Structure 1
Amino acid sequence: MKKLNVTQEDAMIKKTTWIGMVSLLILLSLFLLVTIFSTSKLTSQVKLIAEHPFTVNGDISDVKTNLALMRLRAERLQSYNQPEDVAKVKEALDEIYVSMEALLDEIDDLYLGPDDDMDALRLSFHEIRNAQEDLLEFAALPSSTTDVIAAYEEEQLYHLYEKLEQNAQHILSYVRNTQQNIFTSADHLGKSSLVWSIIIIIAVTLGLFFFQYAIRKMSLRLYEKNRQFELLSDTVDEAFLIFGNDPGRCDFVSGSAERVLGLPAGSLKEDRLLIYQHMNAATAEQIHNELYSDTKTSLDTMIEYQHPQYPEPRWLQLHSYRITENTDTKYILTMTDCTEERRSAQALQDALVSAQNANNAKRDFLSRMSHEIRTPMNAIIGMVTIAAASINNRSRVEDCLDKIGYSSKHLLMLINDVLDMSRIDSNRVKLNKEPFELYQFLNNFVSVVYPQASSKGLNFSEKSIGFSEHTTYLGDSLRLNQILLNLTSNAIKFTPRGGTVRLEVFHLPPRGNNSWIRFVVSDTGIGMNEDALERLYTPFEQADASISQKYGGTGLGMSITQNLVSLMGGFIDVKSKPDEGTTFTVELPFEHSDVDLQPYHEGVLESLKVLVADDEQDICEHTTLLLERLKIQAEWVLNGIEAVEKVAAAQEEGHAFDVCFIDWKMPDIDGLETTRRIRAKVGRDTPIIIISAYDWSDIEEEARAAGADAFITKPLFQSSLYNALVSVTNGAFGMSRSKEENTGNSLQGMRILLAEDNELNMEIAVTLLEMNGAKVESAANGQEALERFSKTEPGYFDAILMDVQMPVMDGCEAARQIRACRRRDAGSIPIIATTANAFQEDVSAVLAAGMDAHISKPLDIKQLCKILSQVHSG
């Protein structure tokens, strides 16, 4: 392209542009300097406040507090002036004097006012100290009575207290005035900075407008000069060449050729044969022959073209036209990139295959779910039939009911897995951010998992490492429980009898504002191969068909687990080998919470001295750690003989153990023999608690005869150790359960209106509520519930249970109309939605209709009672 000449106008625009840019840089630099100066000034003033007035203000407050304590301790002598009382008061005053001296020194260093103020304050303190020391000597005299001491204090000390108070207040007033002056100066500085910032910003804005105007004017000139070229090159989607019989050369090459073919237009104009270099030889020869064939006047074909700018081949639709005028022959060759169209066609084909695969997956899933659902349903129907046939056999009926309950929970678990997967796929999973105490969480979790492992004959262990005393975090503990339960349930399921399942929890170094916790679940089970690991997190997938047939399951658990870990901002890793076991590692971020969720008072057992005897060192160390967290002095030994010797030695030295934890199964002498020998040494004064990983009911009589006071089952938790210690110390330490825990979630005295259109569901709900002490009145739909509520006196009903999907009037509309009633309890009566809909938007809909809470069917009576108790009392 011919180079454009620069006109005088262009030169002027460029000069103006440079001047504008330099001016903007100067203004921005000035703005930066003003900002730096203001920030530096404010920083120095803030530092001044922090180092001087603020600290002195706090110290003066502490001085006043100490003055009050000194006065209080001295006045105690009016009631207690025995020598030991005087000594205690002196000891307390000495501690306050030390604190006061430190405060006065710090105030002296930081106080910005006159030195005379500090001299007066320090002098007042020393006068009080001297007077109080005289008072102590006077109070110790046998002749000093209460009235005499009181009179002495009033005469010698009270005016000194007031003097010190006045001196402190004088300094405090000066400090506050100093703070106010600094704040006023900072305010003036801020206003000045704001004014200068506004001026500079206005100047910058005007400069930008001018700069934009100059740029736009230059752009319009350039655009006009190049418009025709851009129209030809950019708006045509085809590359086209016009050439004659001259070998290699082209008369015209479109500007779009470089985009379509990846070759410069100038190069193609000189040598059109360059395009053949990017085709295979057979295709190039075929096009060349057909192009110059005497029998064909046109060419239409699809070729594969290796575009220089793309790693994968492109597909070009090639058309040629031969035009002959007189004896002059011209050829027009057009080439259109059809790669995207072919990809779209391939995508449609792939979508068809995917749809077929999805249909097959759906069929397989439905088949598997049919099997999974029919298994508990078969158990429920079968057990109902057996129970009906054995109605007079109470033990058989109870066994059937237990199995029906277990199968029902299994069925509900299947439904919940499918719902969780649906929520995850539609991005409707909401995480709750609530405080939870980690050790309580682990205690509750292990108490659920441990019996499952024990019933299968597995060894289960739990260990937490690296945590401080403060272990309350913010997070979704229910989702965390779901993650760990999925992992441990699989570990228990796929580990044969005699194997081991471990849960290890590690505190990791913080990253950013979050604490990170690592959860490791390992087992010695059947393990997985590489192929199974690749498909581990795919929904509805299991290692192979035999897994589903042998162990059951929907194949959703690990997919749900991975998605939940991702939603919580963590990650999951797995290592496994066939027949060697599997290890899952989950790392999750949590924020620390200041909420205290301890179920007991810290330090209430700190006076106890406890001995732990177990042949497993890990258990000894873990138990000792739990006891030390309760502020209990704990020691441990690894066998019964050492335990007996240690207890006897402590007794002789006068530092006897208050409680002993003795493991039942130990190699040299067992726990019962150890208990007998300890009793022989120290008698019945020291409570002994037997530790057992087994059912201790068979040995209870023998153990108590040997001298055991209580029993505790492995694994040991902080809460179980606490409760055991409180038990054997006859409640002398610790905190009893709350009234709510003792009484449960009783509904005694509550009158409830139940709206339910299904007769069977109504019967179940009425029976469960009445079993818990409530009086129930029922309605078959929302309209009937509204009429029953309207006809009763205010306060007649304590709560309303409202089904959502009902004929005549649904639950949401009924709730809205109840809230709109003109009676004093219409806006306050608790309304709880009961529905089979379990998605978040369903919960939001019932809350928007004016209901107070939501509970999903099937009804959990404990949860329902808890909600009713909460909304009724709240």
Structure 2
Amino acid sequence: MVKGFYQESIFCREWNKEFMAQIEHKIQLLLAQNNGVGVVGGSYAPGLPITLVSELALNALGYANVEQFQRRTAMLFTNCLSAKDRALQDVETFRRFTGEKILALPTQRGEERWFRLCKGDQTLPDGEKIWLLTISDCDARQNRELDLIEERDTAEAASRAKSNFLSGVSHDIRTPLNGILGMAHIASEHADDPEIVRESLEKLIDAGEQLESLINDILDMSRLESGKVELLHQPFDLYSLLSSIGDSLHAQSEKMQLKIGLHFNMTHRHVIGNPLHVQRIIANISSNAVKYNHVGGLLDYTLEEFPIDATHATYRFTIRDTGIGMSEKFLTHLYEPYSRANTADPEHYEGTGLGMSITLALVKKMNGTIQVQSHLGKGTTFTVDLPLELDTEACATKDNTVSNSTELPELPNLQGMHILLAEDNDLNREIAEYILTGAGAAVTSARNGRQAVALFEASGQGSVPVFDAILMDIVMPEMDGLQAARAIRASAHPGAATVPIVAQSANAFADDVRKSSEAGMNGYVTKPLDETRLLRELAQYKNSLQHLWLASRRGRLFYFLICAASKKSEKLPLYSRPLVYSAQL
């Protein structure tokens, strides 16, 4: 049971019992108002001297006795006030404070706790006015309220940021969309003028690539914020990955007349990790290095390998440009979502302001680091360190040499290949057929997964050709691409385990790639289809029906054993010999 005012010890100086009787009524009122526990009182003089303090007030502040309190505070209330409330240390300011107030007061251990103070004045018979305070501990409640306020402010800030982002991104999406529709209209109106049609189509492609970049950023940021980003752990070739990034930026680099330098200092180009994330990180930085460069500027890549142990190494990507650079002020906000540098140059397309935020999140996800140096007008240098596992099995069987040449390889051709294309969207199917036939392939199309499975099972019989590869859309009616891939792998057809299946999808997240791999697919390309990437993915299967779907490293060993065995039976191609498909290879 809490002690009443006269049930606790009162430590006072100069005030006798008669005086205490005079102020009793005021103290009782304050205690009732504050559900009070402790009392502090004093006079209006410099330092606000304390001449009265109760036992419960001392206990609330963490003091064992009045002597300990006196040593620490010198019996001055100004020494009891938190640094947050310096204004109250002024005598006149304190005199004007009436009623109640929530204040942070330091305890005996130097920690701050929140107290509710009720203050009143009492005039003595000699005319002097003194101050009286009752205090009660409200630390838990106040901290809860502060937490709620902080959560509210954070939510409001996030809401404002997203509102500003949606306002900006609405403009940014409509800008390239207007260009796409406008240029398409101009081209159709001048179909008999090849030059206008060509220029319109070039601008339409540029606008489409801008729109694709915007959509990718928005989707990636959404996935990162939801915590649904998964790390892949699969083999890939760093050199090929960088080449694919160069391919995607080739047209823009040529337009800017950039000089590109490549410098490699690594022993192992074949690694195991998350190729999608590595590609996204380097592509984001590279895209900015091209976008914000000067015509005729420099874009320089350096890739170095630093061994960690026998099976791991840190790969350092250094990307330097001679573009417009960034100010010191903007560098402090570079990785904040939705932040964009204010550039007066209308030629530089700004984007969503999400690219570098996504880059930093992915680098951290891979336990890497990123550093940047930049000066206005002098360019920018990014250094990214990523730890990766060495693909020692691939290193023993594949060429690890790299070239510093900036020459881009010729576009792959698919001459002699017959490809089964599963795509439900008429326009997308027409685009894919155009790319594939343009590269020399013959194409048989299916409008859904069920038709694709039926065509595959009938392949090699009657008029249905043998397929060298399958390009499988993921989202289709009746049977989706994942179900179709599983059905093909489980089929009794002699090529069920060997036919390469490449997924094509508008979904480009790691878990989508993982799901396609688990369904039995060999590769994955994203929409909008990049011609070079698509042809490179399919060209690796050209004239090679001996490719198995490899579910694990043991699967690769099984593949090599079968290849070796096939040399002893040249009369029967591997495709015609039955193989048992198993996800446990």
1:278 corresponds, among 80, 84, 89, to 80
- Give, in angstroms, the shift of residue 766 of structure 1: 4.7
Asked if the contact 1:573/1:584 (under 8 Å) is kept, the reply is yes
Structure 2-normalised TM-score? Answer: 0.62
The answer on 1:314 being equivalent to 2:116 is no
Per-residue CA distance 1:638-679 (angstroms, 9 max, x = gap):
xxxxxxxxxxxxxxxxxxxxxxxxxxxxxxxxxxxxxxxxxx
Matched position secondary structure for 2:528: coil
C-alpha change, 1:503 and 1:768, in structure 2 (3 Å) is closer
The answer on 1:355 being equivalent to 2:155 is yes
- Give, in angstroms, the shift of residue 315 of structure 1: 1.3
User: Distance in 2 between the 1:314 and 1:414 partners?
Assistant: 49
Counterpart in the other structure of 2:192: 392
- Give, in angstroms, the shift of residue 412 of structure 1: 1.9
- Give, in angstroms, the shift of residue 536 of structure 1: 1.0
- Give, in angstroms, the shift of residue 817 of structure 1: 6.1
1:841 corresponds, among 505, 511, 520, to 511
C-alpha change, 1:825 and 1:591, in structure 2 (3 Å) is closer
Per-residue CA distance 1:606-661 (angstroms, 9 max, x = gap):
xxxxxxxxxxxxxxxxxxxx9xxxxxxxxxxxxxxxxxxxxxxxxxxxxxxxxxxx
Alignment of 1:649-798 (within 5 A): 717=404, 744-746=413-415, 748-750=417-419, 752=420, 754=422, 756=424, 758-771=425-438, 772-779=440-447, 781=448, 788=454, 792=458, 796=464, 798=467
Counterpart in the other structure of 1:243: 7
C-alpha change, 1:343 and 1:475, in structure 2 (3 Å) is same
Q: Which amino acid aligns with 2:326?
A: M
- Give, in angstroms, the shift of residue 540 of structure 1: 1.5
User: Distance in 2 between the 1:399 and 1:775 partners?
Assistant: 30
C-alpha change, 1:512 and 1:542, in structure 2 (3 Å) is farther
- Give, in angstroms, the shift of residue 565 of structure 1: 2.9
C-alpha change, 1:820 and 1:319, in structure 2 (3 Å) is farther
C-alpha change, 1:381 and 1:587, in structure 2 (3 Å) is same
C-alpha change, 1:275 and 1:547, in structure 2 (3 Å) is farther
User: Distance in 1 between the 2:357 and 2:512 partners?
Assistant: 24
- Give, in angstroms, the shift of residue 541 of structure 1: 0.6
Counterpart in the other structure of 1:552: 350
Matched position secondary structure for 1:551: coil
- Give, in angstroms, the shift of residue 365 of structure 1: 1.9
Per-residue CA distance 1:444-482 (angstroms, 9 max, x = gap):
767876875564355554555xx4766665555664454
Per-residue CA distance 1:316-365 (angstroms, 9 max, x = gap):
24699xxxxxxxxxxxx996543343233233333333333323322322
User: Distance in 1 between the 2:411 and 2:381 partners?
Assistant: 41
The answer on 1:487 being equivalent to 2:285 is yes
Q: Which amino acid aligns with 2:211?
A: L
Asked if the contact 1:248/1:273 (under 8 Å) is kept, the reply is no
- Give, in angstroms, the shift of residue 542 of structure 1: 1.5
Q: Which amino acid aligns with 2:80?
A: H
Q: Which amino acid aligns with 1:559?
A: S
User: Distance in 2 between the 1:239 and 1:769 partners?
Assistant: 89
The answer on 1:530 being equivalent to 2:328 is yes
Matched position secondary structure for 1:553: coil
Matched position secondary structure for 1:383: helix
User: Distance in 1 between the 2:3 and 2:343 partners?
Assistant: 55
- Give, in angstroms, the shift of residue 537 of structure 1: 1.0
Q: Which amino acid aligns with 2:422?
A: L
Q: Which amino acid aligns with 2:511?
A: E
Alignment of 1:169-184 (within 5 A): none
C-alpha change, 1:746 and 1:422, in structure 2 (3 Å) is farther
Asked if the contact 1:239/1:335 (under 8 Å) is kept, the reply is no
Q: Which amino acid aligns with 1:436?
A: D
Structure 1-normalised TM-score? Answer: 0.44
C-alpha change, 1:548 and 1:304, in structure 2 (3 Å) is farther
Larger relative helix fraction: 1
Counterpart in the other structure of 2:381: 583
Alignment of 1:245-644 (within 5 A): 247=11, 261-264=61-64, 278-279=80-81, 302-311=102-111, 313-317=112-116, 337-427=137-227, 428-432=229-233, 434=235, 436=237, 455-456=255-256, 460-463=260-263, 467=265, 476=274, 479-497=277-295, 500-505=298-303, 514-544=312-342, 546=344, 550-590=348-388, 594=392, 595-596=394-395
Q: How many residue pairs end up in the alignment?
A: 476
User: Distance in 1 between the 2:347 and 2:390 partners?
Assistant: 44
Alignment of 1:134-153 (within 5 A): none
Asked if the contact 2:268/2:400 (under 8 Å) is kept, the reply is no
- Give, in angstroms, the shift of residue 571 of structure 1: 2.0
- Give, in angstroms, the shift of residue 532 of structure 1: 0.7
- Percent identical pairs in the alignment equals 32
361-370 vs 800-809, which moves further: 800-809
User: Distance in 2 between the 1:827 and 1:601 partners?
Assistant: 29
User: Distance in 2 between the 1:262 and 1:505 partners?
Assistant: 61
Asked if the contact 1:240/1:257 (under 8 Å) is kept, the reply is no
Counterpart in the other structure of 1:43: none
User: Distance in 1 between the 2:418 and 2:501 partners?
Assistant: 17
C-alpha change, 1:354 and 1:379, in structure 2 (3 Å) is same
Counterpart in the other structure of 1:655: none
C-alpha change, 1:521 and 1:315, in structure 2 (3 Å) is same
Q: Which amino acid aligns with 1:381?
A: L
- Give, in angstroms, the shift of residue 403 of structure 1: 3.5
Larger relative strand fraction: 2
Point out which structure has higher relative CO (alpha carbons under 8 A, 6+ apart). Answer: 2
- Give, in angstroms, the shift of residue 742 of structure 1: 9.8
Asked if the contact 1:794/1:825 (under 8 Å) is kept, the reply is no
Per-residue CA distance 1:54-87 (angstroms, 9 max, x = gap):
xxxxxxxxxxxxxxxxxxxxxxxxxxxxxxxxxx
Alignment of 1:85-164 (within 5 A): none
- Give, in angstroms, the shift of residue 746 of structure 1: 4.1
Asked if the contact 1:782/1:811 (under 8 Å) is kept, the reply is yes
- Give, in angstroms, the shift of residue 429 of structure 1: 4.4
C-alpha change, 1:240 and 1:561, in structure 2 (3 Å) is farther
C-alpha change, 1:597 and 1:745, in structure 2 (3 Å) is farther
Asked if the contact 1:832/1:854 (under 8 Å) is kept, the reply is yes
Asked if the contact 1:474/1:592 (under 8 Å) is kept, the reply is yes
User: Distance in 2 between the 1:494 and 1:518 partners?
Assistant: 23
- Give, in angstroms, the shift of residue 531 of structure 1: 1.6
Q: Which amino acid aligns with 1:434?
A: P
User: Distance in 2 between the 1:802 and 1:394 partners?
Assistant: 35
- Give, in angstroms, the shift of residue 534 of structure 1: 0.7
Per-residue CA distance 1:573-593 (angstroms, 9 max, x = gap):
223333444333333444555
- Give, in angstroms, the shift of residue 838 of structure 1: 2.6
1:856 corresponds, among 526, 543, 555, to 526
User: Distance in 2 between the 1:450 and 1:827 partners?
Assistant: 37
Asked if the contact 1:540/1:554 (under 8 Å) is kept, the reply is yes
- Give, in angstroms, the shift of residue 850 of structure 1: 5.7
User: Distance in 2 between the 1:444 and 1:804 partners?
Assistant: 23
Asked if the contact 2:266/2:303 (under 8 Å) is kept, the reply is no
- Give, in angstroms, the shift of residue 561 of structure 1: 2.6
Asked if the contact 1:423/1:429 (under 8 Å) is kept, the reply is no
User: Distance in 1 between the 2:231 and 2:198 partners?
Assistant: 39
